[in-house]
Amino acid sequence: MTTIKGVLFDFSGTLLRIESPESWLRAALTATGTEMAEAEIALRAAELDRAGALPGGTSPAQLPAELAARWEIRDRDARHHRAVYTGLARQVPLPRPELYDVLYDRHMTAEAWHPYPDAAEVLAELHRRGLRIGVLSNIGWDLRPVLRAHGLDRHLDSCVLSYEHGVQKPDPRLFALACRELGLPPSAVLMVGDDRRADGGATALGCAFLPVDHLPVDLRPDGLRPVLDVVG
């Protein structure tokens, strides 16, 4: 068995979790000076959640036909990503048209993301043990400032983002690129992620795979610690 010498982490639902739909909506309302009754905030937030409008949140309960094709390739291009998610949000009536873009912009801020409680500790320990560490994410925007703001970048050796390469997980080409960025063969790399299909696709290339549960941060205090046992 090949010794694991490097670990690739997914971003959303693995190292960090996006804020709740209600917190997301409240931030956009505050940013635009928009007032809304408490009952309506709760209602619209729930509708946005069902629409799948919050990137990193739940998937759409029903995907509008006009967005179906772009949904499948949303993480390959920044323009597709914005168009898809603002399009999903527009399924929900909001009092100001600018709110849809403000909501999208909000989800790219550090304040919208919360690291899992053990994320910093696990990254630091892997670094101490001499492993190579990278982030590999299906995403339509640059998450590096978010990692930096939360102090999670200091132990990273690489960051591979799907939209920068026009290819997304589970395409083996993206995993191959991420392994090259670590300077390691796939057989020496462990992929850690919450999506069994997308992240688990690493096994087709020969990487090991460790799944984690996409849970709120307060319900997953030590979901990343098994990584330390796997790498030994």
pLDDT per position as a tens digit, 107-154: 999 999 999 999 999 999 999 999 999 999 999 999 999 999 999 999
Range 117-121 contact pairs with CB under 8 angstroms and sequence separation of 24 or more: 117/217, 117/220, 117/221, 117/222, 118/221, 118/222, 118/223, 118/224, 118/225, 119/15, 119/16, 119/152, 119/224, 120/150, 120/151, 120/152
pLDDT per position as a tens digit, 161-207: 999 999 999 999 999 999 999 999 999 999 999 999 999 999 999 99
Q: Which two tokens stand for residue 170?
A: 């589970």
User: Alpha carbon of 22 to those of 19, 162, 203, 208, 216: distances in Å?
Assistant: 8, 28, 37, 37, 14
Confidence of residue 1 (pLDDT cuts 50, 70, 90): low
List of domains in the chain: 6-17+113-231 (3.40.50.1000), 18-111 (no CATH)
Taken in order 73, 79, 85, 86, the sign of the CA dihedral is negative
Cα–Cα distance, 161 to 85 (Å, whole number): 18
pLDDT per position as a tens digit, 29-66: 999 999 999 999 999 999 999 999 999 999 999 999 99
- CA 57, distance to chain mean position in Å, is 9
